[in-house]
Amino acid sequence: MRDIKAPEEGILTGIEMGNKTSKIPDEVLKEIFPKKFKRSLTYERVYTQLKQMILAGKLKKRKRLLREEIAQNFNVSEMVVSKAFSQLKKDGLVIIKGGVGSFVA
């Protein structure tokens, strides 16, 4: 038996009618795949909190961000923090230097 994986949030799924593709509502996906959505919300929570702290000046420019410490403070895995860092990097709020660490931009 094959494992069924949850589609990423917001992705159009394969219900096609002619040239139109309909999107399964997030509420339905949340009901079917609750763990997938819980993980997504966890990453979003960490991302949002860190972003607010940076924008409010609570995390100063060039401050080193320790993934392990942040993971413990938020009671999440380091992978969740890494995902939040990646998004913050895309936003221009964090600089990630391989082998050195992550820093507030």
pLDDT single digits (tens) 3-49: 444 444 444 444 444 445 557 777 776 677 766 655 556 889 999 99
pLDDT band for position 84 (cuts 50, 70, 90):
very high
Domains of the chain, start order:
15-104 (1.10.10.10)
Instruction: Give the mean pLDDT of the chain.
Output: 80
| Helices of type H across 1-105 | 26-32, 34-55, 67-74, 78-90
Q: What is the pLDDT of residue 72?
A: 93
Q: Calculate the CA dihedral of residues 12, 14, 16, 22 and round it to 10 degrees.
A: -30
- Looking at the whole model, is its pTM more than 0.85? no
Contact 86, 98 (CB under 8 A): no
